[in-house]
């Protein structure tokens, strides 16, 4: 089968083709796994972290990709959840032990044996992949394959982030960074909390214009001061500057939710600007988002179908994965990038 392989860590500024198109053996499902013929796979900033070594894969070569939609082609001998030909999705959580204290409480995102799709197990930048059947999800008919793919990470983690803000109708929510995840959060807010006012912080004019198109009451640059203080802010960026700026804009008792699996080192010195009275005093909170739970995906897919959320997508062929990644690195973003397999 065809797959785009990452063979080693590299700098995307120096190597604009980090993935190699290769022919590799078609995987065979284990006893409790399913074999999925991939039809679409979203492209995520996390893949940049893997490629550039901020969050290196556990083995090489590896097939990246953790926003996967496809058709069940075969089931292992003990796998019975899905019918042949059924459409399924696969997200960042590839597996967990299902036995530890965190898994028993429904927090498998914190499991010490958490395995990530496209990092610890081969993902969806390929024609086929396998996954434990308990970590696959039925895709509502409301979505095409390309529309469903970004929902499995950008949407699902955005859903978790929104839940962690504790936002209520009548309050002010900030979104700093306006890529795949944030634009889906804004769509969720408009449906679930129609009286929440959304303020967007983004670096580029096109991103700010896009936010207003989707219903933001205000949009400004990362350092801009909004016309009102904010009850909660979700940070979806890979850098530190928006964290400090967001804390400055919170009301007393406000909460910042950081929706990022890693932060880059490039602007870490910006943390030197952190001033306790201005940024942290008055019981302000910071909460990180760690991975995702299975229930996040299940609940969000149902909500997305109900609204419905139709993500804005740009499609690329599998062989164009490097192009999509470079554009993401260079912030050429409008919605979500998706590989069509």
Whichever domain contains 210, its CATH number is: 3.40.50.720
The span from the CA of 131 to the CA of 137, in Å, is: 11
The span from the CA of 107 to the CA of 67, in Å, is: 20
Is the Cβ–Cβ distance between 105 and 150 less than 8 Å?
no
Report the side by side order of strands in the sheet with 250-258: 218-220, 197-201, 172-176, 230-235, 250-258, 285-288
Each residue of 90-119: pLDDT tens digit? 999 999 999 999 999 999 999 999 999 999
Same domain, 334 and 244: no
Predicted local distance difference test score (pLDDT) of residue 336: 83
CA atoms within a 13 Å half-sphere pointing along the CA-CB vector of 173: 30
Q: 151 lies in a domain?
A: no
Q: 43 lies in a domain?
A: yes
Is the Cβ–Cβ distance between 129 and 63 less than 8 Å?
yes
Each residue of 234-254: pLDDT tens digit? 999 989 999 999 999 999 999
Each residue of 251-271: pLDDT tens digit? 999 999 999 877 877 788 888
Is the Cβ–Cβ distance between 100 and 42 less than 8 Å?
no
DSSP-derived pairing of the beta strands 250-258 and 230-235: parallel
Q: 299 lies in a domain?
A: no
Each residue of 320-332: pLDDT tens digit? 999 999 999 887 7
Domain of residue 241: give its range. Answer: 156-288
Phi and psi, residue 122, nearest 5°: -60, 140
Q: 326 lies in a domain?
A: yes
Residue 139 in this model has a pLDDT that exceeds 80: yes
**For the chain, give me the number of helices (H) and strands (E)?**
9, 18
Q: 301 lies in a domain?
A: no
Number of domains the chain contains: 2
Same domain, 174 and 123: no
Mean pLDDT of the chain: 94
Q: What is the pTM of this model?
A: 0.88
**CATH label of the domain that carries residue 333:** 3.90.180.10
With CA atoms as reference, report the closest residue to 82 among 92, 95, 71: 71
């Amino acid at each position: 089968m065809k797959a785009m392989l990452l063979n080693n860590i590299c700098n995307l500024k120096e190597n604009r083709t980090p993935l190699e198109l290769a022919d590799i053996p078609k995987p065979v499902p284990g006893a409790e796994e399913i074999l999925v013929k991939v039809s679409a796979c979203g492209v995520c900033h996390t893949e940049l972290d893997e490629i550039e070594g901020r969050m290196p894969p556990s083995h090489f070569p590896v097939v990246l990709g953790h926003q996967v939609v496809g058709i069940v082609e075969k089931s292992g001998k003990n796998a019975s959840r899905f019918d042949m030909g059924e459409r399924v999705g696969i997200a960042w959580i590839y597996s967990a032990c299902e036995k530890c204290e965190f898994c028993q409480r429904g927090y498998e995102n914190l499991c010490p044996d958490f395995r990530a799709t496209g990092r610890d197990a081969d993902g969806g930048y390929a024609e086929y992949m396998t996954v434990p059947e308990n970590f696959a999800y039925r895709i509502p008919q409301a979505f095409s394959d390309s529309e469903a793919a970004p929902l499995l990470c950008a949407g699902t983690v955005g859903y978790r982030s929104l839940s962690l803000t504790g936002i209520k109708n009548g309050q002010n929510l900030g979104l700093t960074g306006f890529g795949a995840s944030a634009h889906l959060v804004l769509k969720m807010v408009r449906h679930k909390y129609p009286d929440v006012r959304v303020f967007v912080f983004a670096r580029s004019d096109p991103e700010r214009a896009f936010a207003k198109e989707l219903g933001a009451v205000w949009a400004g640059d990362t350092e801009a001061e909004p016309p009102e203080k904010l009850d909660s802010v979700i940070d979806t960026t890979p850098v530190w500057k928006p964290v400090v700026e967001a804390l400055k804009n919170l009301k007393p008792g406000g909460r910042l939710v950081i929706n990022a699996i890693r932060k880059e080192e490039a602007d870490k010195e910006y943390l030197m600007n952190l001033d306790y009275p201005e940024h942290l005093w008055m019981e302000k909170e910071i909460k990180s988002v760690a991975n995702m739970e299975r229930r996040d995906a299940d609940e969000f897919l149902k909500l997305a179908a109900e609204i419905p959320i139709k993500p804005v997508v740009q499609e690329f062929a599998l062989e164009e994965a490097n192009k999509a990644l470079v554009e993401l690195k260079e912030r050429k973003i409008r919605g979500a990038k998706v590989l069509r397999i």
